[in-house]
Amino acid sequence: MSYPSITFRFALFLSFSLTASSWLPPLPLPLFSKRYAPSSSAIRKATPSDLLSVLGSKPQSSGVNPGVARQLKSCFKFLVPFSPVQPCHRKLGRPKHSGPTQREENELIWWPPEPVLELARLAVDSGGEPAAIHRLLDPAIISVPDCEGSKENRCQLTRTPYGRRFICQELNLYLQFLFQLIVDRGPSVGLDVTLNRFDLFHGHLFLALDSGRLGILFHAKEYPAYDKQVFPYNMGYCQRGSNVTYNDSMNLRNILWLAPMPGDSDESWVAPGVLVVLDARPDGIIYRDLIPDYVNFARTIYEDDLGDVAVDVNYLNVGSETGNYQIFIC
């Protein structure tokens, strides 16, 4: 908010110094750069809202301090090319044949199928009210079966021992699609990730605090293996037997999906969907400003900082060896 005034003051200074220099000796250069170097205004903290705005509509993103925006962008590793297109009315159906091409997968992120778009609009129209999401869940309760030996380790992976699904099957399928796409494309940005109960199995579906925009914050590398040297943290029953190595790929464990952002009219959209890995490398702004100190070793961005969490979305392998992955919404 105060950025414009800094620009303004800086501009004033420039014009002052230009005028002044016509009748005063020029300022010594070191003094000039020391007192007025832009670095003094660059120490600005990024907020969760900045993060979402940079990925939002034009007016949203242009409201973010340019220095902050630049640093945030340097921490984005897009799994699907970022496509801040013009306001768009276009809506794509699903590809007709099975096995979508890369291009079709991208389009499913930019402009998801109709039921996802409806959910995205509902989230915003409700004023960011999680109950609007809850009403679309099938009331039928499904108990969460054992997942990869979790029960025998007394590990409960999900917030509740039972889950639900969306009434609309296409929404459940879309969630599966997101998990799969993260796994398929993670390696393209350096994120080696597997769908299992120690690594990627959940995300938090939220409605953004200021805009109501629908999103999911996925957490990969959930239970790194205990290691005296590199990860001396006991995380309880669910960590036992973990084969997740704690190394630099922890920096990439926060993965953000954002639904397209609806515009004011019934048909318009002001930003396409986004799928991005948020790089929390220690010298970046995400680590510095968006990861709470007490979990910095785990590189966790908290979903509650981004929005009101409506549900957790779990994708669990409840089959035997073969792999039978199912969605449980808790």
Ligand X SMILES: *[C@@H]1O[C@H](CO)[C@@H](O)[C@H](O)[C@H]1NC(C)=O
324 binds ligand X (CB under 6 A): no
Kindly tell me which of 250 and 270 has the beta carbon lying closer to ligand X. 250
User: DSSP readout, 87-144?
Assistant: PB-------SSSS--HHHHHHHHHS--HHHHHHHHHHHHTTS-HHHHHTTB-S--EE-
Kindly tell me which of 166 and 231 has the beta carbon lying closer to ligand X. 231
Q: Which two tokens stand for residue 155?
A: 């590990």
180 binds ligand X (CB under 6 A): no
Residue 201 Cβ vs ligand X, minimum distance, rounded to whole Å: 11
Task: Tell how far CA 137 is from the center of its chain.
Answer: 23
Residue 251 Cβ vs ligand X, minimum distance, rounded to whole Å: 8
Antiparallel, parallel or unpaired: β 142-143 and 162-163: antiparallel
Spatial CA neighbour of 149 closest among 242, 78, 258: 242
Cα(171)–Cα(119) distance, rounded to whole angstroms? 9
Kindly tell me which of 45 and 154 has the beta carbon lying closer to ligand X. 154
Residue 192 Cβ vs ligand X, minimum distance, rounded to whole Å: 5
Judged by CB under 6 A, the number of residues near ligand X is 9
Residue 252 Cβ vs ligand X, minimum distance, rounded to whole Å: 8
Cα(89)–Cα(32) distance, rounded to whole angstroms? 50
Question: Can you give 233-269 as a three-state secondary structure string?
Answer: CCCCHHHCCCCECCCHHHHHCEEEEECCEECCCCCCE
245 binds ligand X (CB under 6 A): yes
Kindly tell me which of 192 and 305 has the beta carbon lying closer to ligand X. 192
Taking contact as CB under 6 A, which single stretch among the options 114-122, 164-172, 212-220, 240-248 is the one that binds ligand X? 240-248
Residue of 248, 267, 296, 319 interacting with ligand X (CB under 6 A): 248
Taking contact as CB under 6 A, which single stretch among the options 103-111, 152-160, 189-197, 301-309 is the one that binds ligand X? 189-197
Residue of 21, 33, 243, 324 interacting with ligand X (CB under 6 A): 243
The distance between the two most distant Cα atoms of the chain, rounded to a whole number of Å, is 84
Own/partner contacts of 99-104, CB < 8 Å, gap of 24 or more, are: none
> Are 52 and 213 contacting, i.e. CB atoms less than 8 angstroms apart?
yes
Taking contact as CB under 6 A, which single stretch among the options 39-47, 72-80, 81-89, 190-198 is the one that binds ligand X? 190-198
Taking contact as CB under 6 A, which single stretch among the options 176-184, 216-224, 244-252, 290-298 is the one that binds ligand X? 244-252
Residue of 7, 40, 102, 247 interacting with ligand X (CB under 6 A): 247
Tell me which residues touch ligand X (CB under 6 A): 148, 192, 194, 196, 243, 245, 247-249
